Amino acid sequence: MVTTKGCFRRCTFCEAGGTARNARSPLRVVDEMEECYHRFGIREIDLFDYEFPSDRKRTKIICQEIKRRGLDIWWACRSRVDSVNEDLLREMASAGCRRIYYGLEFGEQEMLDKVRKGITVQQIHDSIRLTQDYGIKALGFFLIGGPDEDRASIKRTVKFARSLNLEYVQFSKLTAKPLTTMWHDMVLDSGRDYWRDYILGLAEEAALDRPWTELTNDEIDQLAKWAYVRYHSRPLFLLKSALRVRSFTEFKRKFFAYLDMVFHQERKSEEWLEKDEEFIAYNENPQAARRPRFPVPG
């Protein structure tokens, strides 16, 4: 489900940063949950908002309404670490929240400040601990290839992630998405707007340059794969994951997902194009032969 749009934060890498927040009525949200529960037999819901608990009062109303209607559901959401506190996590856990995906990004304060994340390393530690204390699984989103990042800082981020005892982590390769601050900087630096050309069919699918770091794209690809394997291949982590399995089907799914991560995850950003034989990048608008003149963002 999606219950809100937009995000008033201004992280430099996020396409939603600085967009107007539009929240749906708490009662309408729970009405839809109730319909899913009774009409379709659904027992687990993923709330796909950029940041579900940012309005604590609204979040509490939704939680209280779930309990009042007796909806025995499990649900997950995405959040910043500074949007939750102990009181809210207690309310969310009692209403069926079982998983929170946190945008953590980096393990060093300097890196967090460079992307204007607006959180501290201590807040990360505190919120993850509280989340786990209330029986909610904490998952973390991290970035590889941030501003001025090098191999040493990436290794420190992975070490930091391991110290949090997260259920699962995702290491994404930082890319300048359209309309982000990083995209504006990239266009000004290169004089070319790749995303505009791509939408108009004037550019092929390609890995973009990352002028904010001295690491090459190949190095970032390799480090992202290394980070995944380094985190998820620890014997104790694998043992705990296996003990949480509740069926052979679940074990088989997770086992083959692990093997796929270790042996088949892309080593280079272009590899997915080579694997997808049905993907075709072509100019859908033959009339657009002349390059349109759009103002370069300032």
CA–CA–CA angle 239, 240, 244 (5° rounding): 115
Q: Which domains occur in the chain, in start order? A: 4-174 (3.20.20.70)
Q: How far apart are alpha carbons 69 and 66 in whole angstroms? A: 5
The whole-angstrom separation of Cα 128 and Cα 44 is 22
pTM: 0.86
pLDDT at res. 263: 80
Beta partners for 44?
A: 74
Tokens of 196: 């505009």
Find all residues with CB under 8 Å of 274, minimum gap 6, and list them: none
- Residue carrying structure tokens 């990004």: 105
Q: How many CB atoms lie within 10 A of CB 215?
A: 20
Residue 15 CA, distance from chain mean position:
12
pLDDT value of position 296: 43
- Report, as ranges of residue numbers, the positions in the chain whose pLDDT lies below 50: 279, 281-298
> Taking a C-beta distance cutoff of 8 angstroms, is the pair 179, 150 a contact?
no
pLDDT digits 0-9 by tens, 151-204: 999 999 999 999 999 999 999 999 999 989 999 988 988 888 999 999 999 988
How far is Cα 238 from Cα 225, in angstroms, rounded to an integer? Answer: 17
Give per-residue pLDDT as tens, 46-55: 999 999 999 9
